[in-house]
Amino acid sequence: MPNLNRRHFLVTGLAAGAAAAVPAAARADDQDPAAETAQTLASRGLTTDPFTLGVACGDPDHEGFVLWTRLAQQPLAEDGFGGMPQRPFPVQWQVYADERCRRVVRAGVAAAVPEWGHSVHVEVQGLSSDREYWYRFRVGPYVSPVGRARTAPHPLSYGGPLAMAFVSCAQYEHGYFTSYRRLAEEHPDLILHLGDYQYEYTRNTYTIPGGNVRHHEGPETETLANYRQRHAQYKADPDLQAAHAAAPWLVVWDDHELDNNWADEVPEKPEIPQPGFLTRREAAFRAYYENMPLRRTSIPRGVDMQLYRRIRWGRTATFHMLDTRQYRDDQGCGDGYKDCPAAVDPNRSITGAEQEAWLLDGFRHSRAQWDVIGQQVFFAQRDNNAGPAKVTSQDAWDGYVASRRRITQGWIDAQVRNPVVLTGDVHAHWASDLKLDYDDPTGPSVGAELVATSISTGGDGADSDPAAHPFLRINPHLKFYNNQRGYVLTRIERDLMTADFKVVPTVREPGAEVYTRATFVVEDRVPGVRQTYLRPLDQGLRAAHEVTVEETVRLETERP
């Protein structure tokens, strides 16, 4: 990493939430006594490097992005303060036009305050569209790692092809985050995290065959200190830090950022009195904001947090990022796979009325080539019963059939050019055509769904012949399945979206290599997915594994 001197930084004063960009020409001189004093004051009380949690960038637009870091000398401190003195620290930040960090284009100072876990969120604006930038932070003599950012194309421009990856479900105890490292090495332009960034359980509550690989620190997360400690344990992982530093992220939560299968103000097990659940929700939301590169529009207000939002990548793509937890009706029939009457209740919603209206309005006003819906749980129907009964997951969109139909009809009515749904949650790769009426398999496809497996949740998993999965026979719109760990890497062009389903052979040991298990494409104005590549099953490493309905249901519902 290049050395920094005082010429690189300007102390412009403190701002509690974010810092305004300043011209690079206003940098302090090497011999400026004021800058010397500011560095000395900034480092007071610091005895070791506070940048143990890395750096991140997020929510880019055509003029800028959010920069993030959080100071923590002792990341796993039980009090959640990361070993930081209980006072504000001025954190200097700079954005560079070159990877060697020689040409400063924006600089400033933000306050890392104890009330927000000594986190920093800087909203940088005034940059050129559709180009790479680099950034880093400094407090006293300590300098952070360098992160790579980029801006989106101008709203009236397509720009070049977009390399976008999406991931979900990283259970620290179940394996190493090798897929984050391999994703960083792909040098994507944008990364979507679709939930289950961290898990709430105390050690060995959620176990895998053969035993967990690593262990959570601390109790089950219920307090702000608990959630801060758990986020810090995940953020301290070097593979996750590499992925954050590689590209801007768009993040949304699922359930484990708070509590398994929570729904609005209802915990997973409402039959057990939990009078402190809303206090827990407030703590989880606050810690989530503190640890993610989110704009000030997402600052939580008590038990509420605005997370659904829209990000435009020029005219190429609009990303509609959804929150399917905070506003949903409670799951019907006690979660799980059920033939449940509540699933078809027209009054039930997974998004809530306000978010649904926002999404439909976005469809009507979109002029993008691709409308991409980044969200948490399986969208297409997955009936696990070959007979007349419809047995589906009540935690997914199958448990909110009317809600799914309204949104699907919405993009049809709006004549959305290319609707694509991106999904996490189920710890397996899937690809699917989307239908308005899943009971009519001969009906037209009206969209595509791509589902990313987990980073580590569930352990290694197993390879198998995708065509042998019984869900694909019962639901002909489902086109692909794989139960290994990894991510999905896409290339979005004007006339084609290409999706490579990436997997690693193991997460029990670090450093595994990644390979492409299958490739699917979505063509412009041709709804649905089409397979273009399938790697043969490696019989030398794994015997052909016959997947059963019962096993799939178990893998998706075995969480405690």
Which pLDDT tens digit goes with each residue over 199-257? 999 999 999 999 999 999 999 999 999 999 999 999 999 999 999 999 999 999 999 99
Does the residue 156 lie in any domain?
no
Q: Let me know whether 166 and 141 are in one domain.
A: no
Output the pLDDT for position 544: 54
Burial of 442 (0-12, 13-18, 19+ CB in 10 A): exposed
Q: In which residue are the tokens 């419809």 written?
A: 390
Q: Let me know whether 188 and 129 are in one domain.
A: no
Please answer whether residues 382 and 389 qualify as being in contact, where contact means their C-beta atoms are separated by less than 8 angstroms: no
Q: Let me know whether 460 and 334 are in one domain.
A: yes
Phi/psi of residue 57, each to 5°? -135, 150
Q: Let me know whether 104 and 178 are in one domain.
A: no
Q: Let me know whether 216 and 139 are in one domain.
A: no
Give me Rg for the CA atoms of the chain: 23
Tokens of 344: 């078809």
> For residues 11 and 493, which has the higher predicted lDDT (pLDDT)?
493
The count of other CB atoms within 10 Å of the CB of residue 23 is 12
DSSP secondary structure letters along 396-433: SGGG-HHHHHHHHHHHHHTT-S-EEEEE-SSSSEEEEE
Does the residue 144 lie in any domain?
yes
Tens-digit pLDDT profile for residues 428-476: 999 999 999 999 989 999 999 999 999 999 999 999 999 999 999 999 9
Q: Which of 110, 128, 150 is the last residue of a domain?
A: 150
Global confidence as pTM: 0.93
Output the pLDDT for position 462: 95
Q: Let me know whether 169 and 238 are in one domain.
A: yes
DSSP 8-state class, residue 146? P
- Which residue type does 494 have? R
Output the pLDDT for position 549: 87
Q: Reply yes or no on whether the pLDDT at 25 is more than 50.
A: no
Q: Residue 100: helix, strand or coil by DSSP? A: coil
> Per residue in 357-377, is it b (16+ CB within 10 Å) or e — as a string?
ebbbebbeebebbbbbbbbbb
Does the residue 44 lie in any domain?
yes
Q: Let me know whether 283 and 178 are in one domain.
A: yes
The count of other CB atoms within 10 Å of the CB of residue 2 is 12
Query: In the structure, what pLDDT confidence band is assigned to residue 44 with cuts at 50, 70 and 90?
Result: confident
Does the residue 1 lie in any domain?
no
CATH number at residue 15: 2.60.40.380
Q: Let me know whether 81 and 176 are in one domain.
A: no
DSSP 8-state class, residue 75? T
Tens-digit pLDDT profile for residues 72-94: 999 999 999 999 999 999 999 99
Averaged pLDDT of the chain: 92
Query: In the structure, what pLDDT confidence band is assigned to residue 31 with cuts at 50, 70 and 90?
Result: very low
Q: Let me know whether 191 and 60 are in one domain.
A: no
Q: How many domains does the chain have?
A: 2
Q: Let me know whether 529 and 457 are in one domain.
A: yes
Lowest model confidence (mean pLDDT) among 35-39, 117-121, 394-398, 469-473: 35-39
DSSP 8-state class, residue 22? B
Which domain does 13 fall in, by range?
6-150
Q: Which of 97, 118, 150 is the last residue of a domain?
A: 150
Output the pLDDT for position 5: 35
Q: Residue 148: helix, strand or coil by DSSP? A: strand
Tens-digit pLDDT profile for residues 135-192: 999 999 999 999 999 999 999 999 999 999 999 999 999 999 999 999 999 999 999 9
Residue spans of beta strands (DSSP E) within 144-226: 147-150, 162-167, 190-193
Does the residue 246 lie in any domain?
yes
d(CA 453, CA 448): 17
Does the residue 189 lie in any domain?
yes
Please answer whether residues 471 and 478 qualify as being in contact, where contact means their C-beta atoms are separated by less than 8 angstroms: yes
Q: In which residue are the tokens 């997360």 written?
A: 221
Query: In the structure, what pLDDT confidence band is assigned to residue 14 with cuts at 50, 70 and 90?
Result: very low
Q: Let me know whether 248 and 137 are in one domain.
A: no
Nearest to 432 by CA among 442, 424, 421: 421
Burial of 331 (0-12, 13-18, 19+ CB in 10 A): buried
Which distant-in-sequence residues (6+ apart) come within 8 Å of 169 by Cβ? 195, 196, 254, 424, 425, 427, 453, 454, 455, 456, 457
Q: Let me know whether 406 and 361 are in one domain.
A: yes
Angle between helices 224-235 and 238-246 (to 10 degrees): 80
